[in-house]
Amino acid sequence: MRSHVLATIAVVATSMALVGCATLQRTVEVQSDLDSLTKSGAVGSIATLDDNSTTTVLTSGVPHQTNGDSIGPRYRVRIAGVTKTFTAALVLQLVAQDKVGLDAPVQRYLPGLVPGDTITVRHLLQHRSGLAEFAGEPNADEWVAASENRTLTPADAVAIALSKPAQFEPGSAFRYTNTNYIVLGMLVEAVTGRSYADELRTRILEPLELEDTYLPPPGERDIRGEHMTGYADLPGGRTDVSRIEPSIPWSAGALVSTGKDLNTFWRALLSGRIVPENELTEMTTPHAGATEAEGLGYGLGVGSTELPCGVTYIGHSGGIYGYYTLSGATEDRAYTVTLTSTPKEQPDIVAMLSHALCP
């Protein structure tokens, strides 16, 4: 799991699966944007666009470097940091039920886990806790752990973070840090008395009928069913890195999903079907000075930006071994794109979002 490194996006042109048909001009523009990135080195990519009741799926390349199969519209991918929005939604449901206070100290729910009583739930949601990053440390590399048949508990992940100096005083700065969302997963379990996986399933996945989305349990390192293989350019060449240990990213980045399911999730979230209006407003309001890698203002588990056409995009991105996903929505449209390797050229994120989402 990476510390929110901007990878890239690609999709389109060579093989196209259409379910319905998006506006022709929109499709042409998205294809033009993404085809150039495919040519830049992505093995395979898939984009899903929802325009009111119409869904369009665009694919480019192949799902596996070893064969010439086509990418199916429901191929699963690892969505990495987009998992954080699901975790934030769970926490905000608990806030709406008066089971958690946004500005309450984490110590109230997880006594003794983090030092002092100045780190609040809001600080965790907005990456302003100052907790150090655990991801990527020698014992917290999900690809290496899979090859060594190791798992990691959330408590051990937090212990790794606490063995390092704090990044800053709680509330004084913003830094995207996976540790925050591991603590939030633990908070969900402490408050509800149920596993994070069970809460995720009963509160979000089942009500929205997200049939292709799941949280792999510890030790389940392969992706279920049809999926795209993730690749990374390592010293020995381009390598299949899709087999990882999911207990390491856990509530910060372990979900597996599809573009269709993610678009359904975003549209439900922004319509108030997952989080009530007051909490949704808190969630989608960016904090001054909180800006993630793609230049999006960061709220509580979501990023947002006003596109040049005047519409507001709300979403999240995520990078993990072999995969990069950008997913979100405006009031009228939703867009998810995933690629399975890193092209040589970085994309213009705002331009891509504009072509996909502007009227």
Q: Which two tokens stand for residue 96?
A: 């709406």
pLDDT band at 350 (very low <50, low <70, confident <90, very high): confident
Q: For residue 8, what pLDDT is reported?
A: 27
**Cβ-based neighbour number of residue 198 at 10 Å:** 14
Closest CA to 232 of 7, 4, 3: 7
CATH architecture of 15-357: 3-Layer(aba) Sandwich (3.40)
Q: Flag whether pLDDT at 161 surpasses 90.
A: yes
CA distance 132 to 347: 29
DSSP output for 258-298: -HHHHHHHHHHHHTTSSS-HHHHHHHHSPPTT-B-TTS-EE
- Percent helix / strand / coil, the chain, rounded to 5: 30, 20, 50
Query: What is the helix (H) or strand (E) element at residue 49, kind and residue range?
Result: strand 44-51
Q: For residue 9, what pLDDT is reported?
A: 30
CA distance 32 to 354: 13
**Cβ-based neighbour number of residue 285 at 10 Å:** 12
CA distance 45 to 323: 9
CA distance 338 to 124: 26
Find tokens 């998006």 and name the residue.
22
Query: Under a CB-based contact definition with an 8 Å cutoff, are residues 61 and 241 in contact?
Result: no
Average pLDDT value for residue range 304-309:
94
CA distance 231 to 239: 5
Q: For residue 101, what pLDDT is reported?
A: 98
CA distance 188 to 191: 5
- Give me Rg for the CA atoms of the chain: 19
Q: How many residues does the structure list for the chain?
A: 359
CA distance 356 to 359: 9
Closest CA to 179 of 163, 195, 191: 163
pTM exceeds 0.85, yes or no: yes
**Average per-residue pLDDT for the chain:** 89
Longest distance between any two alpha carbons in the chain, whole Å: 56
Supply φ then ψ for residue 82, to 5 degrees.
Answer: -65, -20
Q: For residue 15, what pLDDT is reported?
A: 32
CA distance 220 to 245: 7
**Cβ-based neighbour number of residue 5 at 10 Å:** 12
Q: Flag whether pLDDT at 18 surpasses 60.
A: no
Find tokens 């794109």 and name the residue.
337
Lowest mean pLDDT among 58-62, 203-207, 209-213, 301-305: 58-62
Q: Which two tokens stand for residue 243?
A: 């087999």
